[in-house]
């Protein structure tokens, strides 16, 4: 197969981890007889430095022309980077919001999977972890509070601010359909998270999700209020398969779920629209604190590349091969610094490696 992949290396550790993902993709191409063509796209801080804009029209056109985009991460240290002296719509993060909107990427998928080899990194008690957990957070990405009308104004001599949370039924239906489709490929359970006891937008969310559920009789649907969901994620994460939720709830819960796995450097993500196109990126940020040191964990980005093969290119066996190779490398005790056992824990059989070595090991095990 001939695939055109847009590559946004971005800032901080982005270029380091993307290089390793491309190394793995090239090895997959060789082994399975595919051709991956890469088109380098500028976005984020590096784009500001080169063009004055975090995301240019040209970059959007390049992304639109690709079958899928692989992104490292964008942004810098908010305290020291000159990018954060710019107005909000000119900062690196504006590039991310802009590309999601321009490509209509309304569905964000974030797996939270506890690798048995990394159980030690999970902050939860052993009896809660049990045999581990494996959930997929499906977050609506282009509607709700982050895109609604907002204003800060003076009223009767006092400053007040408001934000609005709006969803229409079509926006809810299309993400719900995606959520149920994914559940069909997994354990066939959807937990729809809302705040229907208070919010009108949540009551509409619940109604539309129930309508969609009627078309998926094999999938079990449950509703959960967001405050309870935040609790249940640390009390009994095993109960979840697909968590389906709106933009802001998903933003918060997906970070909580990733922390519960204990290893941000292991978590991939995908943002999809209603075609096969997807933007694939690690869940973590640009980690300016470790950028340039060659120690970042490239696995989240490599797993994002595997998600790209699975969801955009329907290359399930190639994606499986990457995931299996990562498992073998972990089984053999190789760890980047972020997934090393905590100080004082057993180190027998564990070898610490840097970014490039981790990429090489995964290629070797393919």
Contact residues toward ligand NAD (CB under 6 A) are: 13, 17, 73-76, 78, 93, 96, 264-265, 281, 284-290, 296-297, 300, 338
Looking at the Cβ atoms of 241 and 281, the one nearer to ligand NAD is: 281
Nearest alpha carbon to residue 120 among 281, 349, 365, 285: 349
The backbone torsions φ and ψ at residue 315, rounded to the nearest 5 degrees and listed phi first, read: -100, 70
Strand 158-163 with 189-194, pairing: unpaired
Active-site option among 11, 195, 216, 334: 195
Within 157-246, residue ranges assigned H as helices are 169-184, 200-213, 226-235
Shortest separation between residue 41's beta carbon and ligand NAD, angstroms: 13
Looking at the Cβ atoms of 191 and 301, the one nearer to ligand NAD is: 301
Shortest separation between residue 64's beta carbon and ligand NAD, angstroms: 19
85: which DSSP letter? Answer: G
Looking at the Cβ atoms of 216 and 280, the one nearer to ligand NAD is: 280
Active-site option among 251, 328, 357, 360: 251
C-alpha–C-alpha distance, residues 313 and 306, integer Å: 10
DSSP calls for 15-28:
HHHHHHHHHHHHHH
Helix axes 14-32, 355-364, angle to 10 degrees: 10
Within 262-332, residue ranges assigned H as helices are 299-311, 316-331
Looking at the Cβ atoms of 194 and 338, the one nearer to ligand NAD is: 338
- Going through 119-267 in order, the beta strands assigned E by DSSP cover 134-140, 150-155, 158-163, 189-194, 220-225, 242-245
Q: Is 255 a catalytic residue?
A: yes
Active-site option among 32, 38, 84, 146: 146
Shortest separation between residue 3's beta carbon and ligand NAD, angstroms: 22
C-alpha–C-alpha distance, residues 300 and 155, integer Å: 47
Q: Is 241 a catalytic residue?
A: no
Structure token pair of residue 62? 């390049």
Shortest separation between residue 12's beta carbon and ligand NAD, angstroms: 6
Shortest separation between residue 117's beta carbon and ligand NAD, angstroms: 16
Nearest alpha carbon to residue 268 among 115, 95, 66: 115
C-alpha–C-alpha distance, residues 267 and 304, integer Å: 8
Looking at the Cβ atoms of 23 and 189, the one nearer to ligand NAD is: 23
Shortest separation between residue 22's beta carbon and ligand NAD, angstroms: 16
Alpha carbon separation from 333 to 119, 204, 243, 327, 344 (Å, rounded): 13, 48, 31, 10, 17
Looking at the Cβ atoms of 25 and 219, the one nearer to ligand NAD is: 25
Q: Is 227 a catalytic residue?
A: yes
Active-site option among 255, 328, 357, 360: 255
Q: Is 194 a catalytic residue?
A: no
Active-site option among 200, 215, 227, 331: 227
Looking at the Cβ atoms of 65 and 78, the one nearer to ligand NAD is: 78
Computed on alpha carbons and rounded to an integer, the radius of gyration of the chain in Å comes to 21
Residue with tokens 């082994």: 31
Q: Is 163 a catalytic residue?
A: no
CA 164 remoteness from chain centre: 25
Shortest separation between residue 300's beta carbon and ligand NAD, angstroms: 6
Residues taking part in catalysis: 146, 195, 227, 251, 255
């Amino acid at each position: 197969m001939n695939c055109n992949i847009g590559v946004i290396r971005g800032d901080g550790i982005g270029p380091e981890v993307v290089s390793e993902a491309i190394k793995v993709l090239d090895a997959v191409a060789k082994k399975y007889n595919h051709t991956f063509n890469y088109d380098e796209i500028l976005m984020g801080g590096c784009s500001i430095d080169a063009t004055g804009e975090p995301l240019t029209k040209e970059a959007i056109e390049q992304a639109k022309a690709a079958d899928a985009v692989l992104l490292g991460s964008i942004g810098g240290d908010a305290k020291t980077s000159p990018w954060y002296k710019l107005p909000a719509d000119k900062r690196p993060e504006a590039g991310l919001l802009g590309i999601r909107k321009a490509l209509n990427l309304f569905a964000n998928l974030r797996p939270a999977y506890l690798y048995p080899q990394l159980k030690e990194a999970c902050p939860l008690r052993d009896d809660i972890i049990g045999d581990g957990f494996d959930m997929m957070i499906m977050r609506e990405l282009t509607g709700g509070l982050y895109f609604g009308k907002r204003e800060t104004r003076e009223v009767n001599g006092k400053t007040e601010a408001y934000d609005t949370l709006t969803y229409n039924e079509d926006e809810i239906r299309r993400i719900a359909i995606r959520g149920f489709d994914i559940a069909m490929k997994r354990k066939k359970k959807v937990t729809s998270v809302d705040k229907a006891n208070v919010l009108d937008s949540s009551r509409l969310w619940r109604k539309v999700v129930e309508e969609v559920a009627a078309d998926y009789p094999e999938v079990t649907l449950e509703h959960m209020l967001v405050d309870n969901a935040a609790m249940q994620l640390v009390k009994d994460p095993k109960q979840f398969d697909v968590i389906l939720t709106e933009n802001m709830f998903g933003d918060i819960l997906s970070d909580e779920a990733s922390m519960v796995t204990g290893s941000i450097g292991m978590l991939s993500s995908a943002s999809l629209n209603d075609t096969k196109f997807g933007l694939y990126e690690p869940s973590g940020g640009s980690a300016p604190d470790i950028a340039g040191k060659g120690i970042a964990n490239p696995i989240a980005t490599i797993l994002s590349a595997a998600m790209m093969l699975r969801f955009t290119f329907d290359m399930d066996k190639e994606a499986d091969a990457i995931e299996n190779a990562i498992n073998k490398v972990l089984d053999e005790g190789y760890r980047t610094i972020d997934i090393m056992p905590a100080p004082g824990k057993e180190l027998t059989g564990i070898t610490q490696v840097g970014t490039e070595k981790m990429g090489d090991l995964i290629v070797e095990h393919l």
